[in-house]
Amino acid sequence: MGTLFKLIADSALIAKDPDDYTECQVCGGAVPVYGAKGQLANPPDPQDPDGDIEVYAACAPCILSGRVDQLDQSIRATIRGACSNPGSARSAEAALNRTPMGVPLFMQGRDWPVCCDAPTEFLGSPPSFDALLAFTESSREWSHGLGAPSTDFAQTGPPEGLRDVSFFECTSCRLRYFIFQPT
Ligand SMILES: [Zn+2]
Ligand SMILES: [Zn+2]
């Protein structure tokens, strides 16, 4: 389990480049900041409800406080579909909302494997094609849910980029998952 963010392994966590993002867009606090894509929950000016702030980067305390509403309808539907009851879906949504966005890359939209009624932990992308083959052969493919396995890299060869593939592990039962989103 990640030290800073439970759902992202420390080795897979990537902070925003401090040359591009010099402060937290929510609190103005110091770097490092992480990808946090969404609307600022509870906009600071209640007189101006249209003044929602679009956030791209926030510091760890702001992300962990859930101040940025990061979950779109599609990912909420994915989580609800994978959880066994509304209570666990709510806590799974809350846990994922308190996790930086931007790692994994997810060029085709947000997705996240859910197992044992909770979001799994993101472990990173494969460092090599051999590592990719080893991991995908011992894990299940996820695409907004568990479907029939469709990607066999032993047949197709390497993806265009290794970051197109993301590895996850359930922190309860240790089952492993991968998501393949070609760029
Ligand atoms: Zn902040
Ligand atoms: Zn599990």
Query: Would you put residue 51 in left (φ > 0), alpha (ψ -120 to 50) or beta?
Result: alpha
**Ligand with smallest separation from the Cα of 169:** 2
Find the 99 Cα to ligand 1 centroid distance in Å. Answer: 14
- For residues 137 and 135, give the distance between their C-alpha atoms in angstroms, rounded to a whole number: 5
Find the 163 Cα to ligand 1 centroid distance in Å. Answer: 27
Those residues whose C-beta lies under 8 Å from the C-beta of residue 167, and which sit 6 or more positions away, are 122, 123, 124, 125, 126, 135, 139, 176, 177, 178
Residue range 160-178: mean pLDDT, rounded:
96
pLDDT category at 53 given cuts 50, 70, 90 is: confident
Strand order in the sheet with 176-180: 121-124, 165-169, 176-180, 140-141
pLDDT digit string, tens, across residues 4-51: 999 999 999 999 999 999 999 999 999 999 999 888 877 666 666 666
Find the 144 Cα to ligand 2 centroid distance in Å. Answer: 16
Find the 17 Cα to ligand 2 centroid distance in Å. Answer: 34
Find the 22 Cα to ligand 2 centroid distance in Å. Answer: 38
**Ligand with smallest separation from the Cα of 23:** 1
Q: Which of 34, 29, 72, 73 is nearest to 55 (CA)?
A: 34
Rounded (5°) CA angle 136-110-10: 65
pTM value?
A: 0.91
Find the 45 Cα to ligand 1 centroid distance in Å. Answer: 17
- The distance of Cα 30 from the centroid of its chain, to the nearest Å, equals 23
Find the 39 Cα to ligand 1 centroid distance in Å. Answer: 14
Give Cα separations from 51 to 21, 109, 175 (angstroms). Answer: 21, 25, 43
**Ligand with smallest separation from the Cα of 68:** 1
Find the 40 Cα to ligand 2 centroid distance in Å. Answer: 31
Residue range 118-138: mean pLDDT, rounded:
96
